[in-house]
Structure 1
Amino acid sequence: MLKTKTTLKYLINTLFILVSCSITTAQTNLVVDKIIAQVGDEIILKSDLETQLAQYQQSGYTIDDEARCIILEELLIQNLMLDQAKLDSIEVSEEQIQGEIDRRLRYFIAQFGSQEALEKFYHKSILEIKAEFHDLIKNQLLIQQMQNKILGEVKITPAEVRKYFNNIPKDSLPYINAQVELAQIVKKPVISESEKSAVREKLNGIRNRILNGEDFGTLAYLYSEDPGSAKNNGELGFLPRTALVKEFAKVAFSLKEGEVSEIVETEYGFHIIQLIEKKGEEANFRHILLKPKVNPYALLKAKQQLDSIKQLIETSDSLTFAMAAKRFSDDKETKGNGGKIINPNTGMTTFEMSELGQIDPTLAFKIEKMKPGEITEPLLFTDPQTGESAYRIVQLINYMPPHTANLRDDYQRLQEAALNEKKNRLLENWIKNKIKNTYVRIDSQYKNCTFNADWSQKFEN
């Protein structure tokens, strides 16, 4: 059962919409779609509601009439913010959109173990996944920007934090699970020029076969290493330029219909591309992807480099792990902040041990036996950015044992909770005022819903 009142219900959490896309797509395809609500210029479809319900159900919640009403109100509030964001001419850059998509994909690649496993599960290529969620991510970022505009100046004082903590009944203080803070240094195997040349030569041979009359789609089915599109004869479907990595988009959108590109190198490997059709700002392509193979020796060399770096840190009086991360790590995401690993679920630098066990069981097993300051041996893992194998050493920066929440050990967590409660009150007032001054209509079939905000005057007769 979903809670009717939840802390920060109105502060829209960024949904991991990729989690259940295969399930929700299957379900919403069965829904006879119709508009069930309108907020300003934004509409809510029945399929939108069913998609959200499926996501919550996959998370283990029971879906009943109460849950349906709660989720509908979340959608109403999201669209209230989205409509206001557009009225206020709030913008998000394409760089922000792609950065957020990439961040989420890194998380899911880590969850599935590789990019190939993710693509196989969703029956889509990584490019298709990016394109499918482009506009959804854009709208979510606009909602977040609107929230920031409303709540960005809200502060919390130490006195307010203490008052918040003291108002919690002693028998209701939360139990905090064991948490860890981690940092990493990553070394990736170097792909040799000879391997790149071999892939280029093979791909160029395929390209020549196409130019000599063989079918691009058939050869994509036979040879492409993009499992999401290979089964569709290499076809990606209609995509906007912004949904593609820059190197791919630059070449793809310069082609004429039916034309086959020269070889294009991206972070995913080497491609040849064929333009099928253009429609306005979108185009449909086929591509064949070949990936250079990692030489086992190169992987071993990365491991040996980390052995040396670990020894250097442990024997040096001046070189800290954070300094070594900045100097030696190949991971762009973490090297700038001393190697600290960001929790993709929370955006913080701490992980609950149970959570870490779900993300990386091998790492969690190692960390359980370590003391703060200690460093693992080099560990093989899947780089969430590329889906390729790499090695890393991980330092346990801090370990916090399980305990009942208190101001000394959990001030940051309590400060955040107190701040969120204060923001929630402010946002509730904003929503109340906006409902009065915004065109809203809701399908009368939801008239019996008990909402947190007052939508009672907004139902169709």
Structure 2
Amino acid sequence: MRKFGIAIFSIILFIQAAKAQQKHTLDKIAGVVGSSIILQSDIELKYATYIAQGMQPNPAFKCQILQQLLTQKLLAAQAVIDSVEVKDDEVDADVDRRMRGMIQRAGGQDRLEQFLGRSVIQYKDEIRPDIKEGLIAQRMQQKITSNINTTPQDVKKFYDGIPKDSLPTFNKEVEVGEIVFNPKLNAAEKDAYKTKAEELRKRILAGEDFGALARLYSQDPVSAPNGGDLGFNDRTAFVKEFTAMAFKLKAGDISPVFESDFGFHFLQVIERRGEQVHVRHIVIVPAVTQESLNRIKGKADTVYNLLIKSKATDFSSAAAFYSDNKDTKFNGGMMLNADNVEARSTYIPTDKLDPQVALVIDTMKVGGISKPFLFTGADGKSGYKILYLKSTSNAHKANLDQDYPKLKEYANNSKINRTVSEWFEKKRKETYIRIDSQYQGCPTIKDWSTPSSVPATAEVKP
């Protein structure tokens, strides 16, 4: 947490230095796209952030920043023509998401406001226009590429067009299935945690500060430093129990204690805007007991014996019936490649596997099923898993038989990039663009200026 706080503090120092510089010198227009302008200060602040993130000073990177801003302006201008919009609720949600991340990295809202030299509310108002334009540009680009469809013939043509000595090499990959058994506390084991949540709720109803108690006692690592504040979110952001409670209360109401997969919560609605709600909450997370682990180990052993001894029970059916992992149980238990989720690829490079899983499958044969083993999840909780090694492939040059899903993704991305490039090439020739003389030498945008425009340095007051 401390490193992130230092990084943000460094960013603010750069920003404050840049603003101090602006007090003594005039700002200038670095670029013009149609009726929109890009200020030199916009570029400098983005460059300061780049440096503060630990990157080596590289003035040439300002060319990339300007290109990014030019393309964003082009897309946003076309979005106005095509009536492409984003709703205010969507902008608010994205602003809140970004601010939650900054607050978490800074170590709390108070520290962030100290770094910024202004309130979070003021800062949100400042960044909102740029975020809105970015979202509009993103949606416009999605519209440009929405009709792209990559057929098997396209994939083959793409593959055949790659020189044989330039074909990518894929690392060793495996297909692994899992059945996950998470320990479940009984009513008696849960009671102490529910009681603690009830007691905190009573203290708030009696007049104690919600935010202060959330900082002290809530076990949500993201929202607790911010007084339990989750910002604005729609119905898809929460688990069903949380959503049901958040969207039925009025502003100011405090919910009763309720249970979800994460623990015992209660929440307060701060504000409601259409289908978005701003809430804060406190959650108490029950700890796994040895008794609950022993119980789930017994269940895992029973399922393992069933898989080994009963030919009528296959791994896919057992995963759907017994597994507690909602992400894999309805996929035949098969894990998905986290780097290729959209394609729903089940081929996972061995260097991307959870080390706990890699250690177990290293001794397995294809078609084998592991005995239940104890694992620790990303949330720090323990449970048991049974693994199934469906297939393995050694490192190899790309080929259509083994690597069709990946090659299809490459081919699709190639079509998207080509379509977007062609759109920009056409649009920039139809749009008035002027680039300040300072950036005329940038390789990627040196031909972007409208021929009739004369490069010049325009100054504006800060």
Q: TM-score, normalised by structure 2?
A: 0.69
Structure 1 residue 460 displacement after superposition:
6.8
2:310 paired residue number = 316
Within the alignment, does 1:254 sit opposite 2:255 as a pair?
Answer: no
Equivalents in 2 of 1:23, 1:200: separation in Å?
Answer: 37
* Structure 1 unaligned residues grouped into runs of 5+: 1-19, 105-118
Supply the distance in 1 between the matched residues of 2:286 and 2:430 (Cα, whole angstroms): 58
Distance change (3 Å), C-alpha of 1:69 and 1:142: same
1:423 and 1:46 mapped to 2: Cα distance? 27
- The residue that corresponds to 1:297 in the other structure is 291
Which of the residues 355, 363, 371 maps onto 2:365?
371
- 1:307 match: 301
Residue 393 (structure 1) aligns with: 386
Distance apart, 1:451 and its partner CA: 1.1
What letter is aligned with 2:234? Answer: T
Superposed, which structure 2 residues align to 1:17-416 within 5 Å?
25-29=8-12, 30-31=14-15, 32=18, 45-46=42-43, 49-50=46-47, 53=50, 64-70=58-64, 72-74=66-68, 76-77=70-71, 80-81=74-75, 84=78, 88-89=82-83, 123=107, 146-156=140-150, 161-162=155-156, 164-231=158-225, 234=227, 236=229, 239-242=231-234, 245=238, 246-247=243-244, 249-250=246-247, 254-256=250-252, 260-273=254-267, 287-347=281-341, 348-356=345-353, 360-383=354-377, 388-416=381-409
Please give the alpha-carbon distance, in whole angstroms, between the structure 2 residues aligned to 1:388 and 1:195: 16
For 1:300, the aligned partner's letter is N
Asked if the contact 1:203/1:290 (under 8 Å) is kept, the reply is yes
* CA distances 1:268-305 after superposition (whole Å, capped 9, x unpaired): 33234456x76978987664321223333223333332
Specify the code of the residue in structure 2 equivalent to 1:450: P
TM-score, normalising length: structure 1: 0.69
Answer with 1 or 2: which has the greater Rg: 2
Is contact 1:195-1:293 (8 Å) kept? no
What RMSD, in angstroms, separates the aligned Cα atoms of the two structures? 4.9
Aligned length: 411
* 1:438 to 1:223, Cα distance in 2 relative to 1, 3 A: same
Alpha-carbon contact 2:43-2:66 (below 8 Å) kept: no
Matched to 1:410, the amino acid is D
User: Equivalents in 2 of 1:189, 1:138: separation in Å?
Assistant: 44
When residues 436 and 231 of structure 1 are mapped into structure 2, their CA distance, relative to the original with a 3 A threshold, is same
- What is the SS of the residue equivalent to 2:383? strand
Find the aligned partners of 2:351 and 2:156 in 1 and give their Cα distance. 29
Percent of aligned pairs sharing the same letter: 36
Kept in 1: contact 2:256–2:266 (CA 8 A): yes
Residue 213 of structure 1, CA deviation: 4.5
Give 1:329 shift: 1.9
Tell me by how many angstroms 1:83 deviates: 5.6
Q: Does structure 2 retain, via aligned residues, the 8 Å contact 1:248–1:266?
A: no
**1:179–1:435 CA distance, 2 compared to 1 (3 A):** same
**Which whole-Å CA distance do the structure 1 matches of 2:89 and 2:366 have between them?**
37
User: Which is worse superposed, 181-190 or 432-441?
Assistant: 432-441
**Shift of residue 36, structure 1, vs aligned partner:** 6.2
d(CA) in 1 for partners of 2:134, 2:377: 26
Q: Determine helix, strand or coil for the equivalent of 1:332.
A: coil
Deviates more, 1:194-203 or 1:360-369: 194-203
